[in-house]
Structure 1
Amino acid sequence: MSRRHVPAVLGLVAGALVALPAPDAHAAKVQVRCSVPDLVAAINAANTSPGPDTLRLARKCTYKLTVPDLVNPGNGLPVITSEITIDGRGATIRRDGRGNSVPKFRILFVGPTGNLTLTHTTISGGFATDCPAFPDPPGPACGGGISNSGTMRVTRSKFTGNTAQSDVFAQGGGIDNPGTGSVSETEVTGNRVIYSGSDIGGAAAGAGIANDGPLTVTRSRLTGNTATVTKDTQSFAFGSGVISFAETTVEDTIISKNRSFAPGGFARAAVANGIPAPGRLTMTGGAIRDNRSDAPHGFAQGGGIANNALMTVRKVKISGNRAVAEGGTARGGGVRVGPFGTLDLTDSHITGNTADAPNGTAQGGGLDNPEGGTLTAKRNKVLRNVVTATGGTAQGGGLYHAGGTTGLGTTTLEGNTITHNRASDGGGIFKASGILTLVGEVIRDNRPNNCSPAGAVPGCTG
C-alpha cells in the first residue's frame, strides 16, 4: 500500500510575470482540552478539513474512553481518514475498563485513506474483538491499541495493557499494521493476544506488534507481552514480541521478557517470521533476550527467533531465551529455522539460551535447523547454550542440524566460535542428517563432546 501525499497547491502572484508555487495547504493546529468529547470532535473536524491537521492534547491528561465510537463501535475514537498528527504531550488515551459496564473496543483505527502521526502519547487498555481488514463475523481480532490500514508513524509513545482476543484468530495486541507503518523510540509493553476458541488449530500472533506491512521499527522496546492459546487445541502462540507476515525492518530495538504459551500446542518465539512470503524480516543491532516459549506436552519452537520465511539478522545479541516443553519437544532456545526458512545470521552473539524438555526431546540450545531449512551463519559467537531433558533426549547444545523429510536442509558455518555449550550428546553440534559445512570454525570446550555422532561433521573432532 503506497503512502498518501498532500498535493502541492499552485497559485499566481498578482502582477508577476512568472508563476510561483504557493504555500502548502494550511496545516491547522488545534488545542484539545482534557475532555473525551473535545477529542472526538477534534478528530471528526480534522477528517473533514482540506489540509493536514495537528491535534495538541492537554499536557499529561488522561482521556478515559467509556463508550465506543457511534459510527464504528469496534473503535474508541473516530476512524482516522485524513492526514492528522496527534501530539500527545505526555497524555494518555485509555479505555477505562474498570467494571463490566465498559464495552470492549480498540483505541484507534487508521482507515485506508488515513495518514496518522502519533507522538508523545500513551495508548492503553484497548481491547479488539474485530478486525477491520476482515470485517465479516465470526472473524479475527486485530490491533488492541491501534490497527493501521493506511499510513502510520508512531514516535516516542507507549502502548501498554492492550488486548486482541478471538475465538478464530487474534493478532497485534498492541499494534496491528496491514498498512504502511513506522514505530520509533516507542515502548510496547504488557500487551496480549489470546486465542480463546475451542477448535483445533487456532492462533494468537504478535502480542506486541503484528505486521502485514511494510513496517519499520527503530530504537524501541518490546517487553513483557504475551501470546496464549486454549489448552489442548493444537493451536499456535507465536511472535509474543513481533510477528512478521510481510516486509519488516527492526533496528536497534530491545525485545525482552515476552512469552508465548501453548499448552498442548505450538509456542513460537518472541520474534517470529510467520508464513513463507516474498517479504523479508531484517533485524540489525539491538537485543533479543530473556524471552520464553512454553508448550507443556506440545512443541516449543524457538525461544528468541522462529523463522519460516526470509530473514536477515546482523549484530544482534540473542541471549537468555528459553524454549520449554515438559513432556513434549523443545527446539532452538535461541534461534529456530523452520522447513521453509532461509536465515542469514552474521556478527551476532547467541549466548546462554536453553532448550528444555523434561521427559521429552530437546534439541538446539543456541541454533536449531531441524526440518530442511537453510541456515548461513558467519562470524557469530555461540557460547554457553544448554540443552536439557531430564528423563528424555537432549542433543546439540550449540547447534542441532537435520535435513528434514527431504534430507536437503543445509547449514553453512563460516568463521563462528562455538564454545562452552552443553547437552547430553553433541555439546557443540549434533548432526542428524542433511548437509552441514564448516569453514574456519572454532569449536572447543563443549560438553560432553564438540560434535556428534563421531565423524558426522567433517572438520570437527572431540
Structure 2
Amino acid sequence: MSRRHVPAVLGLMAGALVAVPAPAAHAAPVEVRCSVPDLLAAINAANSSPGPDTLRLAHKCTYKLTAADPVNPGNGLPVITSEITIDGQGATIKRDDRGNDVPKFRIIFVGPTGNLTLTRTTISGGFAADCPAFPDPPGLACGGGISNTGTMKVTRSKITGNTSKSDVFAQGGGIDNPGTGSLSETEVTGNHVIYSGSDLGGGAAGAAIANDGPLTVTDCELTGNTATVTKDTQSFAFGAGIISFAETTVENTLVSKNRSFAPGGFARAAVSNGIPAPGRMTITGGAIKDNTSDAPHGFAQGGGIANNALMTVSGVKISENRAVAEKGTARGGGVRVGPFGTLDLTDSRIIANSVKAPGGTAQGGGIDNPDGGTLTAKRNEVRHNTVTAKDGTAQGGGLYHASGATGLGTTTLEENTITHNRAGDGGGIFKASGVLALNGDTVRDNQPNNCSPAGAVQGCTG
C-alpha cells in the first residue's frame, strides 16, 4: 500500500509566502518474474527496506511453492513484517501438493508489524500446521491460506482450497484473522477446517474465515466451505462460512453452500458467533442461503445463523438453509439464538428454511430462541419454513420460543409477517415457555395452526 502524503500547502503568514516541502517520491513497483525464488527474494527485500513497497506479480503466473520458508516453516512465503502491497495481476500463489513429500504449510503469515495489501491474487492449497497467534496449547492449527496478526487488506482476490486441520482445535480454513483485517470483492471458496482428534469436545471453526480481531467483509462470496469433526467425540463444527470471536462487520456478502458436519456432536450454522464476547457481529444486506448444519445422533443448532453473543442482522435474505439431525436434536433452520445471545433482526426475509430430525426433536424452522436468549425481531418476513421429525417431535414452523434453563429468554416481535410455515404443531409459532409478545404482527395461513399451545401467544388465533 502506498504511503499517503499530505499535499504541499501554500499559505500566507504575516504577508509572507510560506512553502511546505514536496513529499518524497514513491518507490516504483517491483516487477516479480514468474519464478518462486524471485518472489521470495522480493518479499525479503521489501521486509528489509524502509517505507512501503509494491510487488507486481507476473500476469496470471502460478507460483508453485514446494518447500516451506526455512526461517518459519509453518509458512510458504517469508513472514510479512513491513508494509507491502502484492498486486497479483491475476496470479496464483499455491502450495504444490501433488507429491507426498511436500510439507504442510500455509501460504501467507502477516506478522504483528506487518501490513499487507493483497489484490488480484489467488491463494490456494495452503495447509495450516501451527497457530502463530495462539501457540499454546501446542497442536492448534489456524489459517490454512492466510494468518494475519498485523494489518491485512484483501481485495478482488480468491482464497480457495486451503485447509486447517488439527487433533486439538482448528480454525480458519481459508483465513484466520487475530489482527485487523478487511476483505472486499473477494471469493473465499472450497476451504476446509477439520478436527481430527479422538478427545471429547474438540472443535473446527470458520472453514472460510475465523475472526479474533476487528474484521470487515464487504461484497464478498463465502461459498462451498466445510467444517467437520471426528465422529462421536461430542465436538463442535461451526461457522462453515464465518465464525466471529470479536467485532465483525459483514456487508452485502453471499454466504452459500457451506456445511458443518458433526456426527454425534454439535453442528452450528454457516454464520456463527463464538463464545460471548464484547465485540458485536453486524450483518447488513446480502444473502445467507443453502447452507447445512448436519449432526446425526447429535445437535444441529442453526442452519444459516447461530448467535450466542451480540449480533445485529438487517436487510438480509436468509433462505433454504437446513438444520438436520437424524435421531438427534435440530433447531433453527434459518436463525438460532443461543443462551447468551442477543439478536436484533430487522427488515430481513427468512424463507424456505427447514429443520429435520427423523426419530428426534426438530424445532424452529425459520427462527429458534429456545435456551434463554434475547431476540428482537422487527418488520421481517418469515414464510414457507418447515419442521419435520418422522416418529419424533416437530414444533414451531416459523418460530420456536422457550425461556431455557435460566428462565430469562425473551422474544419481542413487531410488525413481522409469519405466514405459510409448517410443523407438526405450532405451524406459525410454538411457545413452550417464557416471554413472547406480538405487536402488530401478522400470523396466518400456517399449518396445522398459527400458534400453539392454544392461548400461549396473546393475540394469535387459529
Range class of TM-score, shorter chain: over 0.9
Deviation at 1:9, TM superposition (A): 10
Partner of 2:12: none
Runs of 5+ unmatched residues, structure 1: none
CA distance in 2, matches of 1:10, 1:318: 46
8 Å contact kept, 1:25–1:51: no
Partner of 2:62: 62
Output the amino acid matched with 2:344.
D
Pairwise mapping of residues 66-215 of structure 1 onto structure 2 (< 5 A)? 66-136=66-136, 138-215=138-215
Deviation at 1:51, TM superposition (A): 1.1
Per-residue CA distance 1:393-452 (angstroms, 9 max, x = gap): 000000000001121200000000000000000000000001001000110000000000
8 Å contact kept, 2:74–2:105: yes
CA distance in 2, matches of 1:84, 1:174: 21
**Matched residue count:** 457
Deviation at 1:134, TM superposition (A): 1.8
8 Å contact kept, 2:2–2:52: no
Partner of 2:297: 297
8 Å contact kept, 1:379–1:415: yes
Residue 29 of structure 2 aligns to a residue whose secondary structure is: strand
Q: Does the C-alpha gap of structure 1 residues 95 and 308 become closer, same or farther in structure 2, counting only changes over 3 Å?
A: same
Per-residue CA distance 1:228-276 (angstroms, 9 max, x = gap): 0010000000000000000000000000000000000000000001110
Pairwise mapping of residues 360-371 of structure 1 onto structure 2 (< 5 A)? 360-371=360-371
Residue 443 of structure 1 aligns to a residue whose secondary structure is: strand
Q: Does the C-alpha gap of structure 1 residues 10 and 348 become closer, same or farther in structure 2, counting only changes over 3 Å?
A: closer
Structure-1-length-normalised TM-score: 0.96
Per-residue CA distance 1:74-94 (angstroms, 9 max, x = gap): 000000000000000000000
CA distance in 2, matches of 1:22, 1:248: 39
Partner of 1:259: 259
Deviation at 1:390, TM superposition (A): 0.4
8 Å contact kept, 1:9–1:24: no
Instruction: Check if 1:402 corresponds to 2:402.
Output: yes
Deviation at 1:18, TM superposition (A): 4.6
CA distance in 2, matches of 1:24, 1:348: 50
8 Å contact kept, 2:401–2:431: yes
Deviation at 1:138, TM superposition (A): 2.1
CA distance in 2, matches of 1:352, 1:388: 13
CA distance in 1, matches of 2:32, 2:265: 47
Per-residue CA distance 1:36-67 (angstroms, 9 max, x = gap): 00000000000011111000000000000000
Q: Does the C-alpha gap of structure 1 residues 25 and 144 become closer, same or farther in structure 2, counting only changes over 3 Å?
A: farther
8 Å contact kept, 1:28–1:51: no
CA distance in 1, matches of 2:441, 2:36: 61
Deviation at 1:139, TM superposition (A): 2.9
Deviation at 1:135, TM superposition (A): 2.4
Per-residue CA distance 1:332-354 (angstroms, 9 max, x = gap): 00000000000000000000000
Residue 439 of structure 1 aligns to a residue whose secondary structure is: coil
CA distance in 2, matches of 1:340, 1:413: 19
Q: For the aligned residues, what is the CA RMSD?
A: 1.8
Instruction: Check if 1:306 corresponds to 2:303.
Output: no
Output the amino acid matched with 1:397.
G
Residue 237 of structure 1 aligns to a residue whose secondary structure is: strand
CA distance in 2, matches of 1:139, 1:339: 30
Per-residue CA distance 1:296-325 (angstroms, 9 max, x = gap): 000000000000000000000000000000
8 Å contact kept, 2:200–2:233: yes
CA distance in 1, matches of 2:269, 2:404: 20
Deviation at 1:137, TM superposition (A): 5.6
Output the amino acid matched with 1:72.
N
Partner of 2:426: 426
Output the amino acid matched with 2:230.
T
Runs of 5+ unmatched residues, structure 2: 9-15
8 Å contact kept, 1:292–1:303: yes
8 Å contact kept, 1:9–1:25: no
Pairwise mapping of residues 222-371 of structure 1 onto structure 2 (< 5 A)? 222-371=222-371
Structure-2-length-normalised TM-score: 0.96
Partner of 2:436: 436
Q: Does the C-alpha gap of structure 1 residues 281 and 25 become closer, same or farther in structure 2, counting only changes over 3 Å?
A: farther
Partner of 1:41: 41
Per-residue CA distance 1:148-168 (angstroms, 9 max, x = gap): 000000000001100001111
8 Å contact kept, 1:307–1:337: yes
Per-residue CA distance 1:174-203 (angstroms, 9 max, x = gap): 011000000000000000000011111000
Deviation at 1:380, TM superposition (A): 0.3
